[in-house]
């Protein structure tokens, strides 16, 4: 066993995250792309890629009052 230094990043594709929330009785209230790039950056750079394909999303969801049992 080795200690992992520094921050860790966990990646999940959008489909399993959104469909998993919906399947458990959540209602999606909002979804935002967090633009962190610079459109004037040189093509091929991280800044340019991040301006056309934002790498981060913010998701807002709430559990339905009738719960997941009512959906199944």
**Higher model confidence: residue 65 or residue 21?**
21
Tell me the pLDDT tens digit for each residue of 9-38.
Answer: 677 888 998 999 999 999 999 999 887 778
List the helix and strand counts (H, then E) for the chain.
2, 2
pLDDT at site 10: 72
pTM for this model (two decimals): 0.58
The mean pLDDT of the chain is 82
pLDDT at site 48: 85
- Report how far apart, in Å, the C-alpha atoms of 71 and of each of 18, 33, 65, 66 are: 16, 29, 11, 8
Average pLDDT on 42-55 reads 84
């Amino acid at each position: 066993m080795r200690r992992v230094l520094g921050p860790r990043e966990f990646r999940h594709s959008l489909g399993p995250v959104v469909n998993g929330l919906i399947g458990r009785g959540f209602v999606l209230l909002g979804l935002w792309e967090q633009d962190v790039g610079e459109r004037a950056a040189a093509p091929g750079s991280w800044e340019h890629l991040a301006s056309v394909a934002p790498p981060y999303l913010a998701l807002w969801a709430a559990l339905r009052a009738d719960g997941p049992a009512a959906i199944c």
